[in-house]
A and B are shown apart, each in its own frame.
Chain A
Amino acid sequence: MSSAAAVKAVAIDAPSKVQVMVAALVEVTKDIFSTMVARSVEFGEPSFTGPQPTANVVATVGFAGTLSGYVSLCVSKEAAFEIAQALLGSSADEAHEHVRDAAGEMANMIAGSVRTAMTEKGEQLGISTPIVTVGTDFSTAALRDVSQAIVPFKMGPHSLFVYLVLQGRK
């Protein structure tokens, strides 16, 4: 193979930034759920098109730098409660008080750990503090010129998602 052909082959085969970040997201999310929540999670196939999954609790952390966008952890109220209770190892009453904050902290750990993984690949990123939206019948959407990935996973009976949006075609 000529050097020009080799360069072209590498360019075609090289994973996109979104794919690289999805691989990091899967690894760090498994680790965070295992270490902090004592739950194993099973990941499904990511999709790179379609709307953000609907969820009752959406915890979002933005990032900016050589890449910019955001990561959202999207879960049901029931899953958010189970996560809060497992994180705290506490009573139901205390867990109810912490449902929003616990979801935000999980998103913060996911985004922060992905930031570290991407920093080790040469990116320079800063992350925001988390924003948590709780409710029913709402949706959020990135506007235009973005790349995205929806990464589904299961925690026991609960279906959860990590939603990644990158500005630009990455």
Chain B
Amino acid sequence: MRVLVVDDSSTMRRIIVNTLKKLGHEDTVEAGDGKEALRALAAGVPDVIVTDWNMPEMNGPQFVEAVRSQPALAKTPVLMVTTQAAKEDVIVALQAGVNDYLIKPFTPDALKEKINSLTRKP
């Protein structure tokens, strides 16, 4: 399974990638902002996208809207990992096309549960 991790913090990307590796997901691609992530998506469609909200160039919801505008990515699961946790924020994220939401700070178990939930076959 390939996971695209989008966050302007290299530390947060490393935390997420390390957790994914512990879950057995070794195939990860990293991007520092939405524009870089869109370039990575042009090179290949991942199984899951994990994205931050508060990023330069293009914020998380704008990035997810751009993802959803591409037919090939319409059904790719997107997990937003963010401190933006007000009800209004969740609505904005869901309207942009996010599938699930993980609030920072988070435990490795919480990330594991969200990833497993998004990738679980029906």
Contacts and interface: CB of A to CB of B under 8 A. Distances in A.
Interface of A: 31-32, 35-36, 84, 87-90, 94, 98, 101-102, 104-105, 108-109, 111-113, 115-116, 119-120, 127, 129
B83 A116 contact: yes
A108 B54 contact: yes
Nearest to B88: A119
Contacts of B2: none
B9 interface: yes
Given A88-B14, A108-B54, A115-B86, 9 more contacts: A36-B106, A84-B11, A87-B11, A101-B9, A105-B12, A109-B104, A115-B83, A116-B85, A116-B89
The interface centre, meaning the residue of A88, A104, A105, A127 with most chain B CB atoms within 10 A of its CB, is: A105
Contact of A88 (B15, B56, B105, B107): B15
Contacts of A89: 18
Interface of B: 8-12, 14-15, 18, 54-56, 82-86, 88-89, 104-107
